[in-house]
Amino acid sequence: MKTIVTVLGLASMIALAACDSKQENTVENAYENQADALDNQAANMESLADNLSGSAENAAENAADVLENKADATRNAGEAAAEAVEKNEKK
């Protein structure tokens, strides 16, 4: 399921990239790369949680959730930064 969401996200980014400026794309890509790194860390933490039990498993799952939330926040910040660049370019 996560792969499907990732593929759909990338496809939509490519479609949107066609109408964005180079600077806007650069800003958004930097944030997206950071978010991808956080998602990878979350996936690794979830894999680790699969090998644990009890409170250790819960702690690892909670840490993975925190990383996923940070990834989402980073993506949102990237979109906001890209929109700010776009607004500045239109002035």
Give tens-digit pLDDT for 30-88.
Answer: 999 999 999 999 999 999 999 999 999 999 999 999 999 999 999 999 999 998 888 88
What is the pLDDT confidence band of residue 22, given thresholds at 50, 70 and 90?
confident
DSSP string, the chain: -HHHHHHHHHHHHHHHHTTS-HHHHHHHHHHHHHHHHHHHHHHHHHHHHHT--HHHHHHHHHHHHHHHHHHHHHHHHHHHHHHHHHHHHH-
Q: What is the pTM of this model?
A: 0.71
